[in-house]
Amino acid sequence: MKAVTGNRLDDGVVVYLGDDDRWTSDLSAAARFEDGDAKDVLAAAQKRVKEIADAYLIEVDDSGAPAGRETLRETIRKSGPTVRLDLGYQAEA
Amino acid sequence: MKLLKLSRGRLYPALEEPLSEVSLEDWLDNPQGHADATALKISNDVSLASIRCDLAGFSTIILEFPAFKDGRAYSQARILRERYGFTGEIRARGDVLRDQLLFMARCGVDAFEFTGDADGANEALKEFSFAYQRAADDLQPVWRKRLDRAAAA
Amino acid sequence: MYRYDEFDATMVAERVAQFRGQVQRRLSGELTEDQFKPLRLMNGLYLQLHAYMLRVAIPYGTLSSKQMRRLGEVARKYDKGYGHFTTRQNIQYNWPALVDVPDLLDDLADVEMHAIQTSGNCIRNVTSDQYAGASAEEIEDPRPYCEMIRQWSTFHPEFSFLPRKFKIAVTAAPHDRAAVKVHDIGLILYKNEEGETGFEVIVGGGLGRTPYVGHTIRKFLPKKHLLSYLEAILRVYNLEGRRDNMYKARIKILVNSEGAEKFAEAVEAEWAQIKDSGIDLPREEMARIDAYFAPPVFEKLSDESAVLEEKKASDKNFARWLRLNTFAHKAPGYAIVNISLKPIGGVPGDISDVQMEAVADIAEEYSLDEIRATHEQNLVLPHVKKDDLYAVYAALKAVDLATANIGMVSDIIACPGLDYCSLANARSIPIAQRISERFADLGLQEDVGELKIKISGCINACGHHHVGHIGILGVDKKGEEFYQVTLGGSGAEDASIGEIAGRGLSSDQVVDAVEKLVGVYRERRQGKERFLDTYRRLGAEPFKEALYEAA
């Protein structure tokens, strides 16, 4: 499964494309797509240039957690630096 | 494509008169065969050291900026102006962005195939009042202004 | 230090205004991200994993107290209360919002600072010896030449779209603290046999995917020709450097594929054409810039300090800090103080807003208002009276900045790595932290002596691993972090590129590996040999054996 992620244009924070087509900071609330559909969704997301700096696809498992090759990188993006647990989304949890 | 020409520090939209273009390679190969060419097109990967010809026969030299990142033609423009003393038009073609116009102009480019808006282009040229270094334009570097000011004081 | 005149101030203010307009055009959608990216990069603004990152230039590493105080305020006002000093003597903020950056830059411009050309394929912030103007070793202060290069390279119309980034370092001391041999251009100011001072010009050094020690292309360049000669080098590079492959685009590839001699010929030929064309600064302007770096007025002091001796005898920790963190000053009765930004288990180079303000206060009171940033991610107070050393130590200790480990095994260079950086393949900081914790005993560290560990989280080598006595490179193997160890590198006057020791190690193994390597050294060292000396004498074998025995 795939999800769409990017960094919000005005402040750069990590966001994911939600079910309602709005950006969310919560990966578990992100919309999940079959690999085949994901490309079209990404292409549409990439057109929203006033909202995000960039957008790309990440692999997620059935529970919505990062999966595949980029698991560590995407886990760090989702949570925050592993060396500063007081920063990033992990600090709010 | 739109054409902007630099005159006394301002860019003006210009009529696109048809140019008779010839590439440097073709021209070097057979100068007689291109006697009526008015514009010499120099790609950015050729060495200007190979030009042993009279550039004055051309009204325009076209320099290529195939991608905004590819800055070879900035050096070419300066060499044409400062070393070969070319006084005709040097035209920038390709990926010419608003925020590069000032740099190009300082290197001696005075015509731009530019798709953006002419007002914005003129604003971009005026963003800096001074320059730290000498280039192919007539702007005095700040060190010269400092000396002049010290001399006047 | 240099102070802006109206020209400098105007240029920086206009740059901020220009960037404000560019940000506005991006937010309005007039510019796409692809169009905006090169513009923001030339203002030091990256997009990293969690947020934007702003890299602020600290030209040749020199800061006033006022500037340092402002860096602390900026950290609090626009970021999350800290900053990160880098291997280019710069500082990075990890969380600024794009919409705030123009205001942030205005705040910096107020104190004569900027983020100009801290990224992009242009001439970057020029770096130098952090002891410049304070050390007795140097021929003269290299910073006036750095400032001349700063001005010449700022908004250089011809060299803003080079094949790749371009880094220049300058030193004037025989002991190279600026890693000049692994820069695109390294300049060593020295006195020739005729007694004139000028530059040895070294070109084509660099780290990254293909590391090289640079080549001397000109043994002696008179000082007055510095800028025209640099312009000739840059022009040859701009025209001839490869642009088809970003990994082969640095000048080191051009120099090493053509051969240094042929490259030197091309530069000399170009220089012959332009050297008298008004690029070089006239003597008056060189003198004007020079004057800003006139040595401060040092008090006439005895080189012995009774206060110092007394404290040294009564406080063992202070005595150690004195041995490891201070350096001989050229003026009697003064010392150079290093502030370690490598607390045991800490993040190398990180400093809080409160610590920045404390350093500013200390420098104001005790170091003639001056601070330096080092390429090894530490700070320096260049001019401290020996009589004041204990007070400085106590003040630093109060804000946890008195770790006595300069040059030691825990004084580790580490890039931000995968904890922050979008290019990284593996984390760097946690490895640095664990090595530091393993060697937490400062007595042990002092016994081990000088040992430079440098860690990069990817092949771009921001952590300078190739020139670490022990270098560690993080790689990604099918989604798992692995670390490759290199041995025997040096970024100093005895520059060399480290050799790969063998197969990659897991993050647990790599911390053990360092311990094993140190073990071999302690067993086999002779006399006052450093780790690097023992390694060079014995060769790689005994170290490799220890590393991979039953591992």
- To probe the interface with A, which of C31, C34, C37, C50 has the most A CB atoms within 10 Å? C50
Domains, in order of start, for chain C: 6-109 (3.90.480.20), 142-290 (3.30.413.10), 306-398 (3.90.480.20), 415-548 (3.30.413.10)
Q: Does the pLDDT of residue C550 top 60, yes or no?
A: no
ipTM: 0.97
Measured in angstroms, the CA of A21 and the nearest CA of chain C are apart by 20
CB A88: neighbour CB atoms within 10 A?
Answer: 24
At residue B2, does pLDDT exceed 80? yes
What lies within 8 Å, CB to CB, of C199 at 6+ separation is C145, C187, C188, C189, C190, C218, C220, C221, C223, C226
pLDDT for C181-233, tens place per residue?
999 999 999 999 999 999 999 999 999 999 999 999 999 999 999 999 999 99
Question: For testing the chain B interface, which of C239, C240, C289 should be mutated: the one with the most B CBs within 10 Å?
Answer: C239
**Residue pLDDT, tens place only, C313-327:** 999 999 999 999 999
List residues of chain C with CB under 8 Å from any CB of chain B: 5, 7-8, 10-11, 14-15, 17-18, 21-22, 35, 38-39, 121, 151-152, 154-162, 227, 235, 238-239, 243, 273-274, 277-279, 281-282, 284-285, 288
> Which residue from B74, B104, B134 is facing C279, i.e. has the nearest CB?
B134
Per CB-CB distance under 8 Å, the chain C contacts of B148 are none
CB-based contacts of C161: which residues, under 8 Å, 6+ apart?
B68, B69, B70, B71, B74, B100, B103, C121, C122
Instruction: Establish how many alpha carbons lie within 13 A of residue B49's alpha carbon, considering only the half-sphere containing its beta carbon.
Output: 8
Structural domain for B28, as ranges: 3-152
Beta strands in C57-163, from DSSP E residues, in sequence order: 62-64, 82-85, 91-93, 127-128
Q: If we measure between CA atoms, which residue out of C114, C160, C85 comes closest to residue C19?
A: C114
Question: Are B143 and C39 inside 8 Å of each other by CB?
Answer: no
CA distance C405 to C416: 21
**Span C471-501, pLDDT tens digits:** 999 999 988 999 999 999 999 999 999 999 9
pLDDT score of C365 more than 80: yes
Asked whether the beta carbons of C206 and C497 are under 8 A apart, the reply is no
> In the structure, do chain B and chain A come into contact, i.e. share 3 or more CB pairs under 8 Å?
no
The percentage of residues in chain C with a pLDDT greater than 90, rounded to a whole number, is 99
Concatenated DSSP letters of C480-549: EEEEEEEES-B-STT-BPPEE-SS-B-HHHHHHHHHHHHHHHHHH--TT--HHHHHHHH-SHHHHHHHHT
A partners (3+ CB pairs within 8 A) are C
Give the nearest partner residue to B132 out of C151, C278, C282, using CB atoms.
C151
| Residue B49 reports pLDDT greater than 80 | no
pLDDT value of position B120: 93
Model pLDDT, residue B140: 95
- pLDDT per residue over A21-80, tens digit each? 999 999 999 999 998 999 999 999 999 999 999 899 999 999 999 999 999 999 999 999
Does B153 score more than 90 pLDDT?
Answer: no
State the chains in contact with C (3 or more Cβ–Cβ pairs under 8 Å).
A, B
pLDDT of residue C291: 97
pLDDT in tens, C413-454: 999 999 999 999 999 999 999 999 999 999 999 999 999 999
SS3 A11: coil
Strand C127-128 vs strand C91-93: parallel, antiparallel, or unpaired?
A: unpaired
Among candidates B70, B78, B129 on the partner chain, residue whose Cβ is nearest the Cβ of C10: B129
Cβ atoms of C491 and C179 within 8 Å: the answer is yes
CB contact under 8 A, B128 and C154: no
Question: Poorest-confidence range of B43-57, C273-287, C528-542?
Answer: B43-57
The pLDDT tens digits for C493-544 are 999 999 999 999 999 999 999 999 999 999 999 999 999 999 999 999 999 9
Cβ–Cβ below 8 Å for C157 and B106 = yes
For residue B55, pLDDT beyond 90: no
Candidate from C161, C284, C285 with C-beta closest to B70: C161
Specify the number of domains making up chain A: 1
Which residues on C lie below 8 Å from A82 (Cβ)? 419, 427, 430
What's the domain range around A29? 2-92
Would you list which residues of chain B are within 8 Å, Cβ to Cβ, of chain C? 47, 68-72, 74-76, 78, 82-83, 97, 99-100, 102-104, 106-107, 123, 127-135, 142-143, 145-147, 150
Distance, in Å, from the CA atom of B143 to the CA atom of B151, rounded to the nearest integer, reads: 12
Q: State the pairing for strand pair B89-94/B111-113.
A: parallel
Number of structural domains in chain B = 1
